[in-house]
Amino acid sequence: MDNSELNLILENGIKYHQQNKLIKASNCYEEVLKLDGKNLKANLFLGIIFAQQKKFLEAERQFNKSLKIDPGNSDVFNNLGLIYKETDQIKKSINSFNKAIELNPNFIPAYNNLGLIYHYSKKFIKAEEVFLKVLELDKNNIDAKINLAILYKDTFKLDKAQNLFIKVINQNPTNLVALINYGNLLKVIGDKKKSEECFKKAIEINSKYFPAYNNLIVLYERTNQNQKLKELIDKAYLYFPENMVLKLFLGQYFYKIEDYKKSIDILNNIKFHKNEIQQEKLRCLLLAKNYDKIGNTDLAFKFFLNSNKISLDMKEKNIDKDKALKNIINRIQHFKNKRNYTFSNLNDKKAPVFLIGFPRSGTTLLDTILRSHPEIDVLEEKPITTDMLNHLQKIINGDLNNLDKINDEQIINLKNEYFKNLEDNKDKNKNSRLVIDKMPLNIVHVGEIIRVFPDAKFIVALRHPSDSVLSCFMQNFRLNDSMANFLNIDDTAKMYNLVMTLWKQYINSFSINYHLIKYEDVVTNFKETMEPLLKFLDIPWSENILKFYETAQSRNLINTPSYDQVYKPLYSESTNRWKKYENKIKHVLPILKPWVKEFNY
């Protein structure tokens, strides 16, 4: 066979490849390689097909064959970098992209891929440098601008991200990737109206672009707009009648409107491929919640276990549940004796208020109630205190013993940093007299917080220990070192015990201005429970808080797993819920029993 015939087969393969007819394309490439094993294009393109089919080992072998033919081919190194990223070989991925750039210093796709892998591996400064380098090479490069804007969003440089997205959309108003990501940024900022407009615009541009529907459905679901949610699902069904993700959303919709049996029927008839683990995790979680609602605790517990098992399998390698426990244990050991800090009179601003407690103890409910008051704003799980604590850790070189040695100037700087961030993050449309900083697990860092703010106030949310532990196990938390302890009941109970041991030591070691508030009391004796709390905060009573659920319905986005619960009037079914599951959790009840007694349950 002469070269012209080989080229014709190769061209047919490329044509099939462009039409996404991968089997026909690979047959053509393989035919070429039988006759000419050193054909670079056939080797390279066959490797790309393997990668598209997620056959990463075969793809890597094929690309390495290509390198034997042409050791200096930057395209091959770029593709190898993508394979290594998919197989979580981060160092090899970075080396491959760098090699591609070394061979071709103007190879923009390799730069963008390198920036993305730096972003993925949380090397944010390097990622920014790479994307800015692309824009030096090509100031109009859309991909680099979008990648940089997403990086700014993920590193909380929200103004920079917004400005860059606006520039991209002005440059290319029909860019679907930019519209979707800008819509998600607006969702983070809390502008659900403009976020909705972005997703709708993407659908108008391409009515068969599923990510636009997907993101708008998620927005409607997260903001509890159930009617719009159902209408959009029905519209999407016209274009995607066999889409399993759409059926998953439909099952979620019926759960939200409390048609649990219909939701179960839909969810039990969905099957996801083994690589669609996020979708399978949500399916298991929804089935668990549905079975819980209809009282089938055996199946509910089974599917909660399945969901958490998937979360464990998906966990990033750098997440370490033991690290969170060690941090707590270190503080238990350090603060076991009464501390004698020297406090200077440096409090030239009003003392901050912190809403803390073990997760799933009613902090989101309290958040929603308190923000219904016209004089109160609540910052929901913003990293304000985290940023201050990170700065503090640098000052003390990570050694709690050095807390005694902080000087007045350092304290003043920490205070100023905190109050500036508080001011930047509060609701500018609300003239609040009080801003409350809500981050439940700041309960672990009370000893450090009062070193900076000795006159701080703490609202401490409590719930029956068994209910709190069970609810943590049942929730779909975004995993970090702490939340990784909630993937099984044993670890959750262990962490609860450590956190409460530390809290008890704090109140024994320091004079802390705090107010305990029980979730069950809020549910059963609302006004009698909330009046003393408002008095503790020096805030007058307001009838507004009696209709807090109306405030929840008007909120842009609630960023906790409780978002679909707090928009309803108070209900008592979540109190003493643990009793239904007593036979499933009985082995950890002895760990929790002392705390049940401690908190008078």
Q: What percent of the chain has pLDDT over 70?
A: 94
Burial class (CB in 10 A: 0-12, 13-18, 19+), 37: exposed
**CA distance linking residue 302 with residue 285, whole number of Å:** 10
* Pairing verdict, β 376-380 and 457-462: unpaired
In the DSSP assignment, the letter for residue 401 is: G
| Residue indicated by tokens 């009698």 | 528
pTM above 0.85, yes or no: no
- What is the tens place of the pLDDT at every residue in 218-256? 999 998 899 999 999 999 999 999 999 999 999 999 999
Residue 158 lies in a domain: no
**Concatenated DSSP letters of 164-212:** HHHHHHHH-TT-HHHHHHHHHHHHHHT-HHHHHHHHHHHHHH-TT-HHH
Residue 579: is its pLDDT beyond 60?
A: yes
Per DSSP, what are the bridge partners of residue 376? 434
pLDDT for the residue numbered 338: 63
Q: Who has greater pLDDT, 513 or 431?
A: 513
**Greater pLDDT, 339 or 346:** 339
* pLDDT value of residue 73: 93
Distance CA 255, CA 182 (A): 29
Beta-ladder partners of 438: 355, 380
- Tokens (6 digits) for 148: 């940089």
pLDDT confidence tier of residue 11, bands split at 50, 70 and 90: confident
In a domain, 436, yes or no: yes
Beta pairing partners, 458: 354, 514
Q: Token pair 């704090």 is at which residue?
A: 506
Q: What is the pLDDT of residues 477-535, one digit of tens each?
A: 989 999 999 999 999 999 999 999 999 999 998 999 999 999 999 999 999 999 999 99
- Please name the residues in contact with 566: beta carbons below 8 A apart, sequence gap of 6 or more: 364, 365, 368, 548, 549, 552, 558
Q: Is residue 72 part of a domain?
A: no
259 is a domain residue: no
Residues whose CB is less than 8 angstroms from the CB of residue 474 and which lie 6 or more positions away in sequence, other chains included: 288, 289, 292, 304
Q: What is the pLDDT of residue 565?
A: 47
Confidence grade of residue 346 (pLDDT, cut at 50, 70, 90): low
Q: What is the pLDDT of residue 558?
A: 47
Specify the DSSP class assigned to residue 462: E
- The C-alpha atoms of residue 253 and residue 247 are separated, in whole angstroms, by 10
**CA distance linking residue 567 with residue 394, whole number of Å:** 41
Q: What is the distance between the alpha carbons of residues 92 and 219, in angstroms, rounded to a whole number?
A: 37
Sheet holding 434-438, edge to edge: 376-380, 434-438, 353-357, 457-462, 513-518
Q: Is the pLDDT of residue 568 over 70?
A: no
Residue 59's Cβ-count burial label (10 Å; 0-12, 13-18, 19+) is buried
Residue 353 banded pLDDT, cuts 50, 70, 90:
very high
Instruction: Supply the pLDDT for residue 318.
Output: 85
Residue 337 belongs to domain with CATH number: 3.40.50.300
In whole angstroms, give the CA distance from residue 368 to residue 520. 16
pLDDT, average across residues 181-198: 93
Is 450 among the domain residues?
yes
Q: Has residue 497 been placed in a domain? A: yes
- The number of folded domains in the chain is 1
For tokens 């009617």, what's the residue?
Answer: 227
Residue 506: inside a domain: yes
Residue type, 127: A
Q: Is the pLDDT of residue 1 over 70?
A: no
Across 203-207, 346-350, 446-450, 462-466, least confident range: 346-350
Domain of residue 395: give its range. 323-598
53-62, 191-200, 495-504: least confidently modelled range? 53-62
What is the rounded distance in angstroms from the CA atom of residue 547 to the CA atom of residue 373? 10
Task: Report the relative pairing of strands 434-438 and 376-380 from DSSP bridges.
Answer: parallel
Which residue from 449, 418, 465 is spatially nearest to 512, judged by alpha carbons?
449
What ranges in 372-488 are assigned the alpha helix state H?
A: 384-395, 408-425, 446-452, 465-473
What angle, rounded to 10 degrees, do the helices at 210-222 and 192-205 form? 160
pLDDT value of residue 570 = 56
Q: Which segment of 10-19, 130-139, 433-442, 497-506 scores lowest on mean pLDDT?
A: 10-19
pLDDT at 43 over 70: yes
3-state secondary structure 141-152: CHHHHHHHHHHH
Mean pLDDT of 334-348: 67
> What's the full length of the chain, in residues?
601
Per-residue pLDDT, 573: 64
Q: What is the pLDDT of residue 567?
A: 45
Is residue 261 in a domain?
A: no
Are the C-beta atoms of 169 and 189 separated by less than 8 Å? no
pLDDT above 60: residue 345: no
Predicted pLDDT at 563: 42
The stretch 130-152 carries a mean pLDDT of 96
Provide the 3-class DSSP secondary structure of residue 572. coil
